[in-house]
Structure 1
Amino acid sequence: MKRLLLPAAFLLAALPTFAQKPKVAENLVQYAHPIVGTAKMGHTFPGATVPFGMVQLSPDTDTLSYEQDGKYNPDMYKYCAGYQYQDKTIVGFSHTHFSGTGHSDLGDFLVMPTTGPLQLNPGTATQPERGYRSAYSHNTEVAEPGYYKVKLDDHNILAELTATNRVGMHQYTFPQSDQAHLILDLMAGIYNYPDKNVWTFVRVENDTLVTGYRQTNGWARTRTVYFAMAFSKPFTDYGSRNYGKKQAYRGFWGKFDQTKNFPDLAGEQLRMYFNFKTTAGEKLKVKFALSPVSTVGALQNLRAEAPGWDFNKVKGQAQQLWQQELSKVVVESPKKVDKENFYTAMYHAFLSPTTYMDTNGQYRGLDQNTHKADGFTNYTTFSLWDTYRALHPLFNLLQPKRNADMVQSMLAHFDQSVERMLPVWSHYANENWCMIGYHSVPVVADAVLKGNAPFDANKALDACVTTARTQRYDGIGEYMQLGYVPEDKSGSSVSKTLEYAYDDWCIAQMAQKLNRQDIYQEFSKRAQNWRNVYDPRIGFMRPKLADGSFRKEFDVLSTHNQGFIEGNAWNYSLYVPHDPAALITLMGGQKRFIEHLDSLFTMHLPDKFFAETEDITREGIIGNYVHGNEPAHHAAYLYNWTDQPYKTQARVRMILPKMYRPTPDGLGGNDDCGQMSAWYIFSALGFYPVAPGSPDYALGSPAIHGATLNLENGKTFRITVKNQSDKNVYVKEARLNGQKLAKPFLNHQDILNGGELVFTMAARP
C-alpha cells in the first residue's frame, strides 16, 4: 500500500540548510498560567511541578467519595485533578495529580497546616468549620510554573509550594500560636473508590523526619508510593487516628497507646498530626520526597534533590527548568494573549508523561518487582488514546531525547507484561486498559520513521506486532478473522476497527523502513480494514454484525451505543488519517467529501446529543465538531487532500480562539495529558501531524507573527509570517528556504535540517 501522505513530487526539496544562533528568550515563565483549565472541563491542576516531574504538589478543593448513598457520585468527574476553580475552600495540598484527564486516581499524601483546636476531619464544602479545611480567595492565589501561593483564611496561614522532580517543598508562614498543627492525611485521595486504601505505614524516625508508604486499589489496582517527610524545625508532639475497618493486628501491639507519640504506625485509614509552637511570621518548611520503590529511595531522592532549606532557591531552580523548556520555541506576537495561550499550552504539554524512577534509576515494574532503567529515564502516565495524535509527535520535534526514553519505557512495560502487550493507558506500574486501540504503536512508529530511535528498532517492531496479534484483547481476534470488529461481539466496534486499521498502517510503515517485507505485507493488508465498516448506501461508517450485515438500528448523530466511542458516525467517518485520498474516493469524490466535512462544522446538533454525552459541554463543540474529544482533532486539516485547502486555514483559525483562552475556563475540554495543548502548539505554528507514523505535516494557518524552534540537534527552524492579522487567515503562499511549496505539506526532516518557512497571509483564499 502507498505510504502516506503524498507522492514525493508534492514537496519541493529544501535548499541547503543553515543554522542560526538560538534567540535569547525573554522571561517566558510569566506567560504560562497553570490556572488555565481549572474551571469546568479542563481538569488541570494549578500547583507546583517541574517539567515531566514525579511530584505534582497542588491544592485539592475537595476529596469526594466515589459513591454517595451507595450510588455513583456524579460530582467525582469534576475532581479528576482535585481542584475546581469555583470552589470556596481548600482541603489541603497533595503530591500527585493527573493533568487534564477524564478519569483519575492519585492525590497522595495530603498535607494541611492549621491553627486552633485540633481537627482531624476535613469537613465538607457546606460545613467547612467542622474540619481542617479552610476558606481562601483567588485574590491571594498565585499560580506560576513551579510555584503556588495562597492564603488559608480560616487559619491565617500563607501557604507556598514549589518542587523538584521528586520532592515537593512547602513553606507555611504561621501567626503566633501555641496550637499550630500540620495534618498528614493518608486517607485522602482523588477518585476515592470504596476501600481504595489498602494499607498505610508510617514510621516517625525522629522529631524532624517521618517515612512510610501508602498502598491503594483504585483505578490502578495495585499501587504503592513511598515517602520521606522532613520538617525544618522539630515538632513538640504528634499523634494519629485510624479510621479504617481493618486494624493492625492488636496482639502484643495492644500494650501501647498508638494514638499519641507512637513511632511505628500501620492501618488501613490513617491520619496524623504534628504539633508546633510558632511565633508571628514564622516560616515552617516541609520537604516531601516520593519513591516508587522504598523509603530508602525516597530519602535518597530527598537528599539528592533538596539538600537544604532555601525555599526561594528551589523555586528559582524550578522556574529556570521551565524557562529552559519553554525557550525551545520563541514566539513573536504584538498581542500578549497570543504568548499566554502558546506558553500555557507548552506548560501543559510538558507536564506528562511523568518521571517514574528514583535518582538511582530504580522503579517498580508492571510485574511489581524492582527494576532499574539502564541508559534511559523511565516514565509513566501514558494516556495513549489521546496523546499519540499530537503530543508524542510534538516530543519527537521538541523533546526527542525524552520521547525516545518514553518509547523505551513502553518497551520495558511490554517485557514485564504477562499479556505481552505494549501499554494502552498505564500509570504507576499498572495497566488500566482505558479506551481502545493499541496506540503505543504509532508512538513507536513515529519515533522510528522520524529517525528518533536510539533503541533496537527491530525489537520494538516485534513488540508492536505481538501487541497487534493479541487475540483476546478487545475484539482483535474477530478483527483478524473477519477484517472488522463485529458490534454484537464487542462494543464501540466501528471505532475499534478504524483505530486498529490505522495502528496496523503504522506497523506496516515501520516494517517497510526496517525491510521486514513479510510484516509489511501483512499489516498493509490489515490497514485496509477500515473499508469493511463503510456503508456506501448511507455514506457513513456503520457497525457491522458477525454475520456480515450492517446493524439495522442506527443513528448517525447519536453517541450512545452506536458502535463509536467519544464520537458519532458523522465525525468518525472521517477517521482514516493514514489514507485520506482513498477515503475521499470511497465517499464519492471531493465534492461529496467537502460537503460532509463542511457540515461537521456548521450543522446544529439536537438536544439529545448533549443529553447522551456526559463528558463534554456545549462550550467544547462547534457544530458537530467536538474539539474536546480527540477523534476529530485531525478533521480540519483534511481539506488539504482536496482542491480547497484554504478551508483548513479558515477552520483552524476559527477553532483556536474558541477553544483556547488564558482564563480558568479557557480549555474547550479536558486537556488529556497535553493532547489538547499539543494541538494548539502545532496549529498556532502553522502545521499539524495528521498521521503520526508519517514524516509529513499538513499545513494550516499560523496564528503567531513568527517563531524560532531551538532544536536539540543544535539547529534552528524559523517560521516567519508576513501580513499577519485576525482577518488575514489564508495562506497566499508558503516558502521553505526560499522555494515555494507546491502543496500544503511539510516534511519532518526539513524542520530538523534547520532553515526558514515563510508564510504570506491574505484576507481571501
Structure 2
Amino acid sequence: MNQPLVPDVPLSRCELGRADVVPLHEDFTVEAGHRARVAILPELCGNDGFDATTAWPVVLLGDEVHPLTDQHGHRHDHPADRERLTCLVAEQWNLLELDLDEFAGQHVQMALELPAGRGTLWVQWLGVIPPEPEANSPVDHVRTRRGTNSAPTFSRGNTLPAVAMPHGFNLLTPVTDARSRTWLYQWAPEGGPRLEALAVSHQPSPWINDRAGVQLMGWHGTPHVDPARRSVAFSHDAELDRPHHYRVALADGMVAEVTPTDHGGIFRFTMSTDEACGVVLDMPQPGRWQITPLPDGRLALRGRIEPAPGHGRRQRDPVGFCYGITRQRAHLVTTRGRRQAAVLQAEAGEGRVLEVALATSFISVEQARHNLDLEIGEASFDEVRGRAEAAWKELLGRLVLPEASTEQRIVAWSNLARLHLWPSAMHENTGTAEHPHWVHASPFQPMGARARLRQRWERTASPVVEGRLYVNNGYWDTYRTCWPLLGLTDPRRTAHLVDGLLPAWRESGWMGRWSAPGHIDSMVGTSSDVIFASASAHGIDFDEVAAFDSALRNASCPPPDATVGRKGLGTARFRGWVASDEVHEALSWTVENAICDAAIAAWATGLARRAEELGIGERVEELQATASWCTNRALGISEVFDATTGFLRGRRGDGSWSTSSLAPERWGGDYTETTAWGMSVSLPQDGALLASLHGGEEALARHLDRLLATPERADHRGGYRGIIHEMREARALRLGQFALSNQPAHHISFMPLAAGQPWRSQQLVRDALDRAFVGSEIGQGYPGDEDNGEMSAWWLFAAMGLYPLAPGSGGYVLGAPLTPMTWQRPEGTLSITTRGTGHFVASVTRNGEPWSACSIGVEDLRGAVELCIELSDQPTAWGADSRPASLSTGTLGTAWGPHRRDRSALARLSGLPDHQARALMDDRGRQRVRLAAQTRLEAHWPEPWQPRLITLTTADMGPVRMTVTLLGPDDAPLDEVLVSREVRWPDQTMPFELPPVGEVSALRLCLLDDVTLCQVEVY
C-alpha cells in the first residue's frame, strides 16, 4: 500500500478493467462556493501504461454522470476528451479541487470515472471545503513550499521553503532533517513531517549542498540536542509559507516562526505551557559557539561555522560567522556532546515567547554583530516582518494580473518570488546605513599558508575585497530564462546583479560555470558568456569590457583546472568539436560551446560599434575578428551532425563517431542529463542551420514529429549508474522525448517555429502550462528541478507569450499568452493583452500596429509597449511566413557566410624544420615553437582560395606584432597588413581578419617580435 497523501484518511484502491464509475462518498447537499477535494495516485502499468491517469472525478445525479472542473480549469465533457493528456502525474499523488457551484442546493454523490484499460490507482476522498477569501496582495499568493514535495528519485522542484529578502545574503528555512546538507526540508518523510529546526541556509540546490548553516529549535520540558529527539510533528495545514514569513503550529502546541533581513532574521518560538523552555542552537557541520551573558540578563551568541567538503569545489569556502542576542533573559544549560550545539533556557518569569535575533557574516563575528545592528537593532519581530513584506510587495506588485485565476496568480507570483532569490548577495556593509561601504570575503582567492596560520577564531583568513558580490547561481541552468527575464522586467536591479558576478573574474581570472560561492566543477558550457551577452543586448549598464574579456578567455584559452573554462578546449578550438575520448559528455560541451560562441559573436559585433563610447577604440579590429571567428566556430556545430541518423553525435579526436551505432533513447555518455533525442534540436541560435542539416523545413518538422511520438520509458540507466530522476520525470510528462522537466529541453517547444509551424509551438507550450506546473497545494508545482529560478522563469515567459529562443541575442519569439499581464517598469510599462479565447495566435499588434513576424527584438519591447494578441481556438497561419533569427542567415547580429574549415594543414609551410611545421598545424597545440623576430613563414596551397581569417596560438603573454602578406597565384603580393595585438593570457588563440583580395595561393608571416607559437590556422 502507498503512503497516503493525508494521514488518517481512508485509502482506496481501484483496479482498471472495463470502463466504470466508482462512488467515492455518500450523498450530500452542495452548498454554494464549496469545492470537493480528491487525491489520486495513478500507478504506472509497465513503462508506458498511463491508463490510470485518465480517471476523473464526476458527480452522480441519479443515473446521470456530470463532469467537473478542477482548480486548473481542466474538465472532461465528452469521450473525446479521454484522448487528451490530463494533469494527473503517474506514481505521484495529485490533489484535485473540484468546482461544485453548478450543483449548489442539489443532493449529489461524488464518484470516480474509470477508463477501460490496465492499471491501478489509489484514491483518498478528502471531503468538501468552503470557499476561501481571495488574498489581498501578491505576497499573500506566494507559496514557498512549491517544489518541496520532492526526492532524489523524483523531483517536483527540489526546492526549499525559503524565507529571505530579494537576492538576500541568507535563506531562512524550516528543517525536517537537521543532519542533512542536501534535502533539508522534506514534504513527506517516512512517518510524516517533523520539525527539527528553523535554520539559516546558503543552499542554492540540494545537489550542491548547504554551507554555513545555523539551526535553532525551541524546547519545553526537557531539552534535547539530538535532532530526532528534539523534533516535533506537524501538519502541512498548520504551516504559513510566505517569502517574508514562515510559521508552523506544532503538534505539542509550540508555534515556530521566522522572518528575514538581508543578513539575518528573528526566530520566534511561542510555547503552549508554563514549564521550563528555551532554544537549542546547532550547526549541521563543524563549528562552535561562545555564549556570554549580557548585563541585562540576555545572552550574546557568537558562532563560527567551518567550511565542509562540497560538490566539485576547488578550494575551501570562506568560514561562516554569526552573532545573535536572545530577546529574553536566559542562561546556558551545561550539556555534553556536540561542541557545535548549545542549549539555552529562559529565566523564570520571561513568559512563553522566546526570540533570538541573529545575523551572519563571512568576514567576522564582529561584522555579524554589525549586520545585526544595521538591520535589526531593537526592532520587534513584527517590525522586521513588516519591512520584509514591504520589500516583497514592491517587487511582486510590479507584475499585475488583471484576469488571472487564483491558481494562476499563485503560480505566477510564487515563480516571480523564486526568481528573485538568486543570485544571492555575499557582500557586507562595513559602513553605516547612510554611507554604506560594501566588501566581501573572497571565495575565489586562496588564503595562503601564512593567512591560515594567522587566522583567528572570530575572523576569516580569506581576503576581504572591496565591492559587491553575488553568488549561488548555476549558469548552465539560469542563462536560458532567468537573466533575460530579469533584464526585460527589472533592468535597474539586473545591472547590480550582473556587475556583482564579475568579482569572480577580477579575483581569479576566470568566471565559473557554477558559483556556490566559489567555482564549482558542475555542468557544461561557460554560460556566463551568454548571461553577459544577454545583459548587453538588453541595454543593461555594467562593466561590459571586463565581462567580455572573461568570455574571450573562456573561448580562447584552455582552463587551468576543471572548475572553470571549457573542458577539452585545448584541442576543440582547433578541431571544432570536443572529443568524446577526451572529455565526458563531449557532445553537450560542443553544443553549449556553439551557443556561447554565437552569443559572443553578436556581442563582439555590438561592442565594435560602440568601442569609442566604451573607451576601447583601439580594440575594434580585435572585436571584429573575434566576432568572425566565434561565428565560424558556432557554425561548426554542423561537424557533429550525422546526416545518416539525423542526430547530433559525439566524435572522437580522430573524427570518427564515438559509438559504432546510435541508440537515440540512451541517456548520458555524450549527452548531459539527456539523450540524443533531447539534444537533437539544440540549435536555438540557428534554426535555419538545423533545418538545412535535416534537408529542409519539412524534414525538420518530420523529425519533431518523431521526437514527440517516441515515448520516454526510463527503463535503462544508459551512461549512468542507475535510473536518474530526470528519466522518471520525462516519462511522467508523456510528451515523447520533450523532457520539459530539465533545462536541455526548454527550447524544444519553440523549435517548430524554425519549420514554419508557429501553431504547433503554441500547442506544445499550452500543453506544458496546463499540465506540468500543477500541485502547488501539496508542495509540487514543477515538472522537475527548479534550479535558481530557471523553471519559474520558463513558466513566466511561456505565460507571457514570449521566449528568448536565441540565447544572448535579446530576441524573443512570440506565442499565445496564458493570461493578460502587465510588467510595471520605471522606463515604461510592458502590457500583454489578449482578445478572444483559445491557445493559438490569430494576430498581434504592437502599440496598435500590426505585427506579423513570429519574433520581436528587445529594442521593440523597451519603453511603454502594449502587445495585443488575438487568440483563436483553432490553428492559424499567423507567423508562418517568418522565422526566428538565425546565426547562419546573418539575422542574429553578425554576418559571416557558410562554415569554413581550417586549411592550414593543406598548405606546405616553409621557414621551419618539417617537425616544427607539422606541430604548428596538428590541431593539438601542445608543442611550443620558439621563433625569433624577423622570422618569415610562408604557407603555400596547392589550389588558390580566398582566406578570411588567421589565428595564432601563443604560449607567451605580451605584444605580438607581425606583417601578413597575401600572395596571388603567381606569388605576387596582393596586400600586406600590419597586425598588432596584446596577448593577455598564456596559451591564448587570437583571430585576425584578412583583407578581401580575391584568390590567394600563399600567405607570408613576418614576425616583428620574439614569440612562442603553438598553432596556426587559416580559414
TM-score normalised to the size of structure 1?
Answer: 0.85
| Letter of the structure 1 residue corresponding to residue 558 of structure 2 | Q
**What secondary structure sits across from 1:316 in the alignment?**
helix
Residue among 441, 445, 451 paired with 1:364: 441
Rounded to whole Å, the distance in 1 between the matches of 2:188 and 2:768 is: 24
**What secondary structure sits across from 2:813 in the alignment?**
strand
Structure 1 residue 205 displacement after superposition = 6.0
Structure 1 residue 47 displacement after superposition = 3.9
Residue among 693, 713, 726 paired with 1:606: 713
Q: Which residue in the other structure is 1:270 paired with? A: 340
**What secondary structure sits across from 2:330 in the alignment?**
coil
Q: Which residue in the other structure is 2:248 paired with? A: 150
Superimposed CA distance per residue, residues 119-143 of structure 1 (whole angstroms, 9 cap, x where no aligned partner): 22112xxxxxxx1111111222111
**What secondary structure sits across from 1:114 in the alignment?**
strand
| Letter of the structure 1 residue corresponding to residue 782 of structure 2 | L
| Letter of the structure 1 residue corresponding to residue 495 of structure 2 | A
Q: Which residue in the other structure is 2:581 paired with? A: 488
Q: Which residue in the other structure is 2:482 paired with? A: 391
Rounded to whole Å, the distance in 2 between the matches of 1:595 and 1:452 is: 40
Q: Which residue in the other structure is 1:425 paired with? A: 514
Rounded to whole Å, the distance in 2 between the matches of 1:297 and 1:399 is: 31
Q: Which residue in the other structure is 1:403 paired with? A: 494
**What secondary structure sits across from 1:182 in the alignment?**
strand
| Letter of the structure 1 residue corresponding to residue 768 of structure 2 | I
8 Å CA contact 2:274–2:352 kept in 1: the answer is no
The higher-RCO structure (CA 8 Å, 6+ apart) is: 1
Q: Which residue in the other structure is 2:553 paired with? A: 466
Question: Could you say which structure has the higher helix fraction?
Answer: 1
Q: Which residue in the other structure is 1:98 paired with? A: 203
Residue among 726, 733, 740 paired with 2:850: 740
| Letter of the structure 2 residue corresponding to residue 624 of structure 1 | Q
Q: Which residue in the other structure is 2:883 paired with? A: none
| Letter of the structure 1 residue corresponding to residue 569 of structure 2 | I
Which 10-residue stretch deviates more, 492-501 or 293-302?
Answer: 293-302
Q: Which residue in the other structure is 1:685 paired with? A: 800
| Letter of the structure 2 residue corresponding to residue 600 of structure 1 | L
- Aligned ranges for residues 25-36 of structure 1 at < 5 Å? 27-36=137-146
Determine if the alignment matches structure 1 residue 175 to structure 2 residue 272: yes
8 Å CA contact 1:326–1:346 kept in 2: the answer is yes
Determine if the alignment matches structure 1 residue 595 to structure 2 residue 702: yes
- Tell me, which stretches of 5 or more residues in structure 1 are unaligned? 1-24, 67-75, 124-130, 190-196, 244-268
| Letter of the structure 2 residue corresponding to residue 526 of structure 1 | R
- 1:334–1:216: structure 2 CA closer, same or farther, 3 Å change rule? closer
| Letter of the structure 1 residue corresponding to residue 694 of structure 2 | M
- 1:752–1:149: structure 2 CA closer, same or farther, 3 Å change rule? same
Q: Which residue in the other structure is 2:82 paired with? A: none
| Letter of the structure 2 residue corresponding to residue 722 of structure 1 | R
Q: Which residue in the other structure is 1:751 paired with? A: 861
8 Å CA contact 2:163–2:243 kept in 1: the answer is yes
Which 10-residue stretch deviates more, 561-570 or 491-500?
Answer: 561-570
Rounded to whole Å, the distance in 1 between the matches of 2:637 and 2:231 is: 53
Q: Which residue in the other structure is 1:717 paired with? A: 830
8 Å CA contact 1:711–1:752 kept in 2: the answer is no
- 1:722–1:432: structure 2 CA closer, same or farther, 3 Å change rule? same
Structure 1 residue 373 displacement after superposition = 4.4
Structure 1 residue 470 displacement after superposition = 3.0
Q: Which residue in the other structure is 2:923 paired with? A: none
Determine if the alignment matches structure 1 residue 439 to structure 2 residue 527: yes
- Tell me, which stretches of 5 or more residues in structure 2 are unaligned? 1-134, 431-437, 448-461, 560-565, 609-622, 876-1019
Rounded to whole Å, the distance in 1 between the matches of 2:866 and 2:763 is: 23
Residue among 504, 508, 522 paired with 2:601: 508
8 Å CA contact 1:51–1:350 kept in 2: the answer is yes
**What secondary structure sits across from 2:258 in the alignment?**
strand
Structure 1 residue 529 displacement after superposition = 2.6
8 Å CA contact 1:557–1:609 kept in 2: the answer is no
Rounded to whole Å, the distance in 1 between the matches of 2:683 and 2:734 is: 21
Rounded to whole Å, the distance in 2 between the matches of 1:212 and 1:107 is: 10
Q: Which residue in the other structure is 1:348 paired with? A: 418
**What secondary structure sits across from 1:497 in the alignment?**
helix
8 Å CA contact 2:332–2:342 kept in 1: the answer is no
Q: Which residue in the other structure is 1:43 paired with? A: 158
Determine if the alignment matches structure 1 residue 412 to structure 2 residue 412: no
Structure 1 residue 699 displacement after superposition = 0.8
Determine if the alignment matches structure 1 residue 580 to structure 2 residue 678: no
8 Å CA contact 1:723–1:761 kept in 2: the answer is yes
Give percent identity, aligned residues only. Answer: 25
Structure 1 residue 384 displacement after superposition = 0.6
| Letter of the structure 2 residue corresponding to residue 433 of structure 1 | D
Rounded to whole Å, the distance in 2 between the matches of 1:485 and 1:540 is: 16
Determine if the alignment matches structure 1 residue 82 to structure 2 residue 185: yes
- Aligned ranges for residues 316-331 of structure 1 at < 5 Å? 316-331=386-401
Rounded to whole Å, the distance in 2 between the matches of 1:108 and 1:620 is: 35
**What secondary structure sits across from 2:358 in the alignment?**
strand
| Letter of the structure 1 residue corresponding to residue 852 of structure 2 | A
Structure 1 residue 226 displacement after superposition = 1.0
Structure 1 residue 97 displacement after superposition = 4.3
Structure 1 residue 288 displacement after superposition = 1.2
Give the count of matched residue pairs.
676
8 Å CA contact 1:136–1:151 kept in 2: the answer is yes
- 1:357–1:85: structure 2 CA closer, same or farther, 3 Å change rule? farther
8 Å CA contact 1:27–1:323 kept in 2: the answer is yes
- 1:334–1:673: structure 2 CA closer, same or farther, 3 Å change rule? closer
Structure 1 residue 242 displacement after superposition = 4.7
Rounded to whole Å, the distance in 2 between the matches of 1:506 and 1:607 is: 34
Q: Which residue in the other structure is 1:262 paired with? A: none
Which 10-residue stretch deviates more, 357-366 or 534-543?
Answer: 357-366
8 Å CA contact 2:595–2:807 kept in 1: the answer is no
Structure 1 residue 281 displacement after superposition = 6.1
| Letter of the structure 2 residue corresponding to residue 712 of structure 1 | P
Superimposed CA distance per residue, residues 333-377 of structure 1 (whole angstroms, 9 cap, x where no aligned partner): 252111111111111111111111112312111115444444xx4
| Letter of the structure 1 residue corresponding to residue 743 of structure 2 | E
- 1:495–1:554: structure 2 CA closer, same or farther, 3 Å change rule? farther
Residue among 709, 731, 753 paired with 1:640: 753
Superimposed CA distance per residue, residues 712-758 of structure 1 (whole angstroms, 9 cap, x where no aligned partner): 32x1121111113xxx1100001111121121112212221212100
Q: Which has the larger radius of gyration?
A: 2
Determine if the alignment matches structure 1 residue 111 to structure 2 residue 216: yes
Rounded to whole Å, the distance in 2 between the matches of 1:236 and 1:280 is: 12
| Letter of the structure 2 residue corresponding to residue 121 of structure 1 | D
Rounded to whole Å, the distance in 2 between the matches of 1:558 and 1:644 is: 25
Superimposed CA distance per residue, residues 65-106 of structure 1 (whole angstroms, 9 cap, x where no aligned partner): 68xxxxxxxxx6xx1x53334542111111114355543223
8 Å CA contact 2:498–2:542 kept in 1: the answer is no
Structure 1 residue 173 displacement after superposition = 0.8
**What secondary structure sits across from 2:860 in the alignment?**
helix
**What secondary structure sits across from 1:656 in the alignment?**
helix
8 Å CA contact 1:82–1:97 kept in 2: the answer is no
- Aligned ranges for residues 651-690 of structure 1 at < 5 Å? 651-661=764-774, 662-663=776-777, 664-690=779-805
- Aligned ranges for residues 621-636 of structure 1 at < 5 Å? 622-636=735-749
Structure 1 residue 399 displacement after superposition = 2.5
Residue among 121, 131, 135 paired with 2:226: 121
| Letter of the structure 2 residue corresponding to residue 345 of structure 1 | N
- 1:39–1:342: structure 2 CA closer, same or farther, 3 Å change rule? same
Q: Which residue in the other structure is 2:365 paired with? A: 295
Structure 1 residue 53 displacement after superposition = 1.4
8 Å CA contact 1:230–1:286 kept in 2: the answer is yes
Superimposed CA distance per residue, residues 230-279 of structure 1 (whole angstroms, 9 cap, x where no aligned partner): 11012133335454xxxxxxxxxxxxxxxxxxxxxxxxx52111112456
8 Å CA contact 2:187–2:193 kept in 1: the answer is no
Rounded to whole Å, the distance in 2 between the matches of 1:535 and 1:163 is: 53
- Aligned ranges for residues 163-312 of structure 1 at < 5 Å? 163-186=260-283, 188=284, 197=286, 199-200=287-288, 202=290, 204=292, 206=294, 207-219=298-310, 221-243=316-338, 269-277=339-347, 282-312=352-382
